[in-house]
Chain A
Amino acid sequence: MKPVKIAMMGMTHGHTRKYYQTLLDNQKLDWVASCAQDADAKKTYELYKTGVPCYLDPEEMYKKHPDIEAVVIASANDRHFEQMKWCAEKGIHILSMKIPTFDMKEYDEMIAMCDKAGIVCQIELEMHYNSVVRRLEKLVKEGAIGKIKSVQATNITLSPVWAFPWQGDPKSSFGSVVPLKAGDPRFRGGALCDHPHIFDLIRHLTGSSFDYIYAEVAPNLRDGLKVEDMLMAVGKMKDGTAFLFDPSWSRLEEKLKVPGPGWERFPKRMEVNVTITGDKGMITCDCFGPNVYHNGAPNDRYTVQYTYFDEWIGLIDEFVDCIRNHKTPLINLKWHKETIQSMLGCYESIKSGKIAKVGK
């Protein structure tokens, strides 16, 4: 199979660096270029010494590499629309970060332009390629715990805002400046926007759709942050499954400009834990464990060092397979729309203090 000529754009998203190894190792890919949002992003990119040229102007990149077939759009959420448009106009396949946009008008335009261009647009929800999630889905599918009655899930992390400031900026993260609720000085665009995975996962596990959702924000842990960092949501799926989600930035961090050892202050940077109660049993699941543990440099405090990060391999494999074999990705724009609507439902509920019907 001819390797897919691939590029990266933006280079300001927190997941950007996680692609490097896979793009270099996978023989089905030929990583030809990168295009950074700005000089700072280019400087950070160059720290990783990938050997792949980096441009600041997408047109210049395209002029030098007119054979680019696919792009990983690794940028702030409010840049996705224009970058997707740029790709669609050139017939370039897209791997989008987890939030294409929260603006549903824009979202529908994204669907239309990708359909019109006949390109693959895959959304990066890498948890599907995590081996623990794969086991979890298999057990549920095989009926190990019967019919699901309840799902509790955390997608809790440190906050990436110090390394990726756009994630603390309401406009860049949410797409527009919208207050959380009356009398609250904060805006939409924080932890919730960083954590769609559990809103997606429950749809796959239950095979059902969201009915309603109720969410509450708590006081922020980080002074001066304009967006929410602590919130929780409860709700119901259309098949009756009750859920409780925690998508917070509840693990504190050092204010590093470039992620690296010592970033975490709480020992574990990221936890996706799922508890499922079924009518015949229950499951508890830690999607990022076991690991190794130390209290060495740089901060001499108890730290969980991950041993898992192969999600990006499966994610990219699927993307290539979809491009070469004309398949539709599992997480495509149309499928993902309801996940985005459920997250918007959280914001609507926070604003109104009432349940929000999802998709209404």
Chain B
Amino acid sequence: MNLKKMNKGLDFLRGKYGAAKGQITVKDGHCFVGSTPLLPGRMERKIVELKKMTENGTLEGVSTLRFAAFAPKGVDMEAMLAKELDLAAYLGASDIVRVMAVASGNAINVLAKLANDVNVSVEIGAGLPKGAEPYDRHEIIAKRGVACDQTVDTHTKHESIRCWGAEGMAEYTDVDTELFGLSYDEIWNVRAAFALLQKRADAKVWKAAWAKATKAAKLAFAADKSKAAKTIAVKKGLDTNQSIKVAEVR
């Protein structure tokens, strides 16, 4: 990630729409504004649309979440898992209360339970070649309707553009005109920082949500070692899975 470009993008959005001052920093590979960890996954348009579907009646009676995330070799699987578990709690609208996992080399398969009894499966793999684009998939299975952010009949990543040129084939997916030129991860981190600085996202909520997600991810690896599911006590109080105000597209 190019912090300089990201902060330039953030300054552009702040100047255009108005927001408090602030800058993105990186600590241990994760982006922060001040002491607040960013949750860029919650800002991705596809996640925003999935969240809306769980709230606006498109999906009724969520039963199971099936998630997957794959990244190049060397990427921290615990951090990947924390992101996916945070999205599980967010889309499932309930905290994680139990995790079981089985790891093998650069992969870990996780079966988790939300407080509202929803099941969550997460496949994590860090075995893609260096430089490869990450892949993820989020499927929500409900009594009424299934929703997914990958095309249903292929489960391969859909790219907006394929270009066969002299150098071979290249693929492009651009998702944000105002931040054109930033990478996918950079864009959602900037959008997350902007949401925080605009107070659309609550710093307290994100701190608590990320603490829960990283704890659950750590326990998943511990569950693999002990071959026993780990239980997490639900804390009463702050709802860390509430949706963030975003632009309406329909």
Contact = CB atoms under 8 A, between A and B. Distances in A.
Interface of A: 21, 25-28, 129-132, 134-136, 139, 144-145, 259-261, 280-287, 289-297, 300, 302, 305-311, 313-314
Interface of B: 16-18, 45-46, 48-50, 53, 56-60, 142, 144-152, 157-166, 170, 172-178, 180, 247-250
A135 B57 CA distance: 35
Contact of B177 (A130, A139, A285, A307): A130
A68 to B, nearest CB: 23
Nearest to B165: A281
A286 B17 CA distance: 29
Contacts of A284: 161-162
A289 B144 contact: no
A285 B160 contact: yes
Contacts of A134: 174, 177, 180
A131 to B, nearest CB: 4
B157 A296 contact: no
A281 B166 contact: yes
Contacts of A136: 161
B158 to A, nearest CB: 4
Residue among B158, B180, B249 with most chain A CB within 10 A: B249
B163 A144 contact: yes
Contacts of B247: 21, 25, 309-310
B163 A296 contact: no
A282 B149 CA distance: 27
A314 B178 contact: yes
B10 to A, nearest CB: 16
Nearest to A295: B145
B151 A293 contact: yes
A26 B16 CA distance: 7
Given A132-B173, A287-B160, A302-B152, 6 more contacts: A131-B177, A283-B163, A285-B161, A293-B152, A296-B53, A296-B146
| Interface majority SS (helix, strand, loop, mixed), chain B | loop
Given A27-B18, A286-B160, A294 B165 contact: no
A310 B176 contact: yes
Nearest to B157: A290
A297 B146 CA distance: 10
A302 B17 CA distance: 36
A292 B46 contact: yes
A268 to B, nearest CB: 11
A21 B45 CA distance: 16
B166 A296 contact: no
Given A307-B45, A314-B177, A294 B162 contact: no
A296 B180 contact: no
Contact of A294 (B58, B151, B159, B160): B58
A131 B176 contact: yes
B161 A294 contact: no
B146 A295 contact: yes
B49 A305 contact: yes
B250 A261 contact: yes
A145 B58 contact: no
A129 B174 CA distance: 12
Contact of B53 (A285, A305, A306): A305
A34 B149 CA distance: 37
17 contacts: A129-B177, A131-B175, A135-B172, A144-B170, A283-B163, A284-B162, A286-B160, A289-B158, A291-B46, A291-B49, A292-B147, A293-B148, A294-B59, A297-B145, A305-B147, A306-B250, A307-B45
